[in-house]
Amino acid sequence: MVDGVLTLKFLISLVVFGVLLVGAVKLLLRKNRFGPISVALVLLIGGFYLFDQINSTTSDATVLKEVHEDSEIRYLEIRKLELEGGTYSFKERILIEEEETIREILKDLSGLKLKRELNKEPGEAEYVLNLLLSNKKDNRMETGNIQITVGREYIDDLYKIQSDKDHLKTIQELELSLEWEKE
């Protein structure tokens, strides 16, 4: 199950689905001629709606779940991707150590509404972001690397972006203002 699924919206949908199912079963038990049809409709439509809700999430719950306000960000490496013959290759890269710029990029990526898509063809990725950060945990610092694949319409090649937010704004500004290293 996708992280962030148990949102208030999902729980309300689950309660409504349960109430409708109970009502449809009561019609069935009364031997009402609409009983079997109503049970089938509630199961079909409600099941589809709940499945759709399970596949919806946010970028904060899936992609940025390790990044917190108190996280110590060491650096962010951005690598441009190019799809050649069905295989991704790296074109250029840049290393950013300025925390303010990194936080701005993460802010652009936060709060996006995402929808998990199955059987998606690769080819939508434009950048790979490698973020090295440290988080405090049980009186010690844990350092780890987070990798995020980002494109105009997808994040991590699994999640289609449903928001109208310009999530590549800061990255594209950096692309124009800084010199990138060839790979």
pLDDT per residue over 137-173, tens digit each?
888 888 888 888 888 888 887 788 888 888 899 999 9
Same domain, 154 and 79: yes
Q: How many CB atoms lie within 10 A of CB 108?
A: 19
Q: What is the pTM of this model?
A: 0.68
Q: What is the pLDDT of residue 43?
A: 81
Q: Has residue 78 got a pLDDT over 90? A: yes
The CA distances from residue 138 to 135, 142, 161, in Å, are 10, 9, 35
Residue 133 located in a structural domain: yes
Residue 2 located in a structural domain: no
Which domain does 139 fall in, by range? 60-182
Give the residue, 120 or 109, on which the prediction is more confident. 109
Average pLDDT, rounded, for the chain: 80
Q: How many domains does the chain have?
A: 2
Q: Which of 65-74, 102-111, 140-149, 166-175 has the lowest mean pLDDT?
A: 65-74
Q: What is the pLDDT of residue 61?
A: 58
Q: How many helices (H) and strands (E) does the chain have?
A: 5, 9
